[in-house]
């Protein structure tokens, strides 16, 4: 495969960041600092048509990292060209990995092997991407050089000790701030050793970071989780030829193996598809088909929750792509009712709760979420930010320490602040479908981190949305 390194016709803000990095020497990597963006959504409308949302962000990150550590080339299709995953690519290039693209989702990675990374010329700025920082922390813990990981103001507030503490047990030397946040200074490793680590809180990012460090450790590294989390890392490691041992909630690997380049097809992101699932469910007259959506069983909590609320979601043409289950999802409008969300589904839908709160606001009766304290340490405090936004639009929402209680009602028009959280911004955009007046959402620039082109695709489907400058 030959990819042209050049300018795409459709240069999104995230794409412009990548092209800027592509032509700079390795060193301090500039990330997106665009002017603020607001969304204005006019009331009414319905969602119709056949859509394919961008590629899965979690899988895109892992494809880039594991492809870089493989021997030989890895060809990726469906790669998400959002700011977060482009931050991972920029960091890997600064670490000496050559790659071609991404261009229309196609990326060719020339792997350097487990021991082929090089010291970067400066700090690696990962922008707003928590996945990049936490997974790279594990990947870089076993290297023979020092590296500093930084991020924007939001990322610099997010907790990192949940990753650095288990890595320290393996022998890694990682400095954080006094609050346990970035910047992270990773010192050259002497000799990592495997550990058996029981996650105190279900977290795919922590699990993946420990397993990545385990590639460089003596002996066996095992991670046990209290509840199932996304297993993209495990599937991809096996796809690149690295042996794993799975035993219920435990996954183990031996250090010192090899990864072999392969082909990876990244499915459409179910987290991005969730906005259209909810939009179609709440807006009368809606009917959409979402194509090639990733249906990993550790990610389908959003479908289970919406169906429990009465949503009409049909799973069509189930199949496999690159080791991941995928399917097409047909969603029609249906009346929703409030439920108590089972705690077992919380880890399986942790990223989709902002838009699920919008569904709950449109449902008859009350919806109660508990056991979701993790939402308070995402890109924003998603429990409080969503509660504030729902109340600003006339919905009764009572936050709890680990969840929220929402009583269904009618959205008024009004203004909400997304606090720079991409999923909050897109969730309230869908609320505009059933609002009584215009909905204005502030601080939406970070939507490009996970869903470049969201307003355009949503408008094509029937949402009356437009961007406005600050």
By annotation, the residues acting in catalysis are 351
Contacts of residue 6, Cβ cutoff 8 Å, sequence gap at least 6: none
Three-state DSSP class for residue 253: strand
Three-state DSSP class for residue 173: coil
CB atoms within 10 A of CB 440: 17
HSE of 115, CA atoms in CB hemisphere, 13 A: 8
DSSP string, 65-80: HHHHHSEEEEEEES--
Contact (Cβ atoms closer than 8 angstroms) between residue 411 and residue 431: yes
Contacts of residue 240, Cβ cutoff 8 Å, sequence gap at least 6: 66, 67, 70, 74, 259, 260, 261, 262
- Which of 229, 375, 369 has the alpha carbon at shortest distance from 297? 229
Three-state DSSP class for residue 221: strand
What's the rounded Cα separation, in Å, for the pair 124 and 121?
9
Cis peptide before 426 (omega within 30 of 0): no
Contact (Cβ atoms closer than 8 angstroms) between residue 197 and residue 166: yes
What's the rounded Cα separation, in Å, for the pair 430 and 462?
11
Residue linked to tokens 């435990």? 250
Contacts of residue 215, Cβ cutoff 8 Å, sequence gap at least 6: 69, 114, 142, 242, 253, 255, 257
- C-alpha distances out from residue 198 to 87, 174, 201, 207, Å: 30, 20, 9, 9
What's the rounded Cα separation, in Å, for the pair 213 and 190?
13
Structure tokens at 452: 């470049």
DSSP string, 340-403: BPPGGGSTTSGGGHHHHHHHHHTSBSEEEE-S-GGGGGSSS-HHHHHHHHHHHTT-EEEEETTE
């Amino acid at each position: 495969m030959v990819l042209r390194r050049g300018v795409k016709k459709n240069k999104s803000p995230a794409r412009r960041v990548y092209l800027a990095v592509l032509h700079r020497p390795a060193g301090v990597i500039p990330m997106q600092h665009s002017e603020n963006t607001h969304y204005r959504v006019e009331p009414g409308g319905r969602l119709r048509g056949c859509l394919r949302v961008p590629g899965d962000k979690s899988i895109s990150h892992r494809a880039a990292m594991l492809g870089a550590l493989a021997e030989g080339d890895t060809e990726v299709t469906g790669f998400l060209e959002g700011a977060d995953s482009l931050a991972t690519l920029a960091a890997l290039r600064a670490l000496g990995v050559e790659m071609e693209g991404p261009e229309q989702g196609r990326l060719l990675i020339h792997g350097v092997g487990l021991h082929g990374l090089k010291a970067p010329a400066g700090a690696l700025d990962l922008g707003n991407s928590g996945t990049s920082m936490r997974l790279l922390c594990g990947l870089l813990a076993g290297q023979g050089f020092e590296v500093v990981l930084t991020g924007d103001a939001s990322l610099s507030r997010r907790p990192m000790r949940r990753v650095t503490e288990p890595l320290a047990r393996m022998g890694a030397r990682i400095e954080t701030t006094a609050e346990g946040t970035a910047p992270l200074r990773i010192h050259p490793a002497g000799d990592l050793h495997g550990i058996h680590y029981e996650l105190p809180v279900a977290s795919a990012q922590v699990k993946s970071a420990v397993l990545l460090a385990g590639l460089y450790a003596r002996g066996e590294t095992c991670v046990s989780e209290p509840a199932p989390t996304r297993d993209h890392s495990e599937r991809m490691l096996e796809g690149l030829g690295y042996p794993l041992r799975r035993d219920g909630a435990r996954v183990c690997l031996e250090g010192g193996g090899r990864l072999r380049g392969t082909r990876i097809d990244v499915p459409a992101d179910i987290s991005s598809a969730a906005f259209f699932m909810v939009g179609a469910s709440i807006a009368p007259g809606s009917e959409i088909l979402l194509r090639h959506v990733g249906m990993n069983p550790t990610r389908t909590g959003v479908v289970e929750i919406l169906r429990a609320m009465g949503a009409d979601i049909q799973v069509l043409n189930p199949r496999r792509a690159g080791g991941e289950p995928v399917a097409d999802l047909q969603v029609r409008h249906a009346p929703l009712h409030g439920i108590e969300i089972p705690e077992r589904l919380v880890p399986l839908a942790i990223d989709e709760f902002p838009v699920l709160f919008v569904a709950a606001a449109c449902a008859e009766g009350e919806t109660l979420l508990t056991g979701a304290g993790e939402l308070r340490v995402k890109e924003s405090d998603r429990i409080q930010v969503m509660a504030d936004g729902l109340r600003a639009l006339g919905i009764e929402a009572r936050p709890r320490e680990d969840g929220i209680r929402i009583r269904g009602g009618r959205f008024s028009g009004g203004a909400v602040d997304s606090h720079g959280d991409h999923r909050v911004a897109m969730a309230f955009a869908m609320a505009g479908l059933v609002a009584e007046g215009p909905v204005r959402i502030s601080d939406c620039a970070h939507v490009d981190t996970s869903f470049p082109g969201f307003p355009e695709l949503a408008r094509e489907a029937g949402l009356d949305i437009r961007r406005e400058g600050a």
